[in-house]
Amino acid sequence: MPHSPVTKLPAFDEEWGEYFVGQIRAHMEQLYASIDAEEDDPAADPVVLSGQPFCGCEDCDERERYLLATILIIEGYEAGKVTLVDVEQ
């Protein structure tokens, strides 16, 4: 059996998990909507966490998803909504 470098796994309740996924989906929907939005449309100027232009390519998509996931996980940890538990060996 291969050895995993992971020694802990996240533990969180279903409500926080749904919030996490919902926030990422909503953020990405806003970013993708901004690509085709007219300049005078408020959707044309979304919050881009990286501060870099968002074109919808794989790099932009992953960068924004990972940045938001990092923020949400840290906030969830600070609020006691997500913790790490030891992996059973």
Q: What is the pLDDT along the chain (89 residues), one digit of tens a residue?
A: 566 778 899 999 999 999 999 999 999 999 999 888 777 777 677 889 999 989 999 999 999 999 999 999 999 999 999 999 998 75
Prediction pTM value? 0.82
| 39-48, Cβ contacts within 8 angstroms, sequence gap of 24 or more | none
For 35, the token pair is 């690509």
The Cα–Cα gap between 74 and 63 comes to: 17
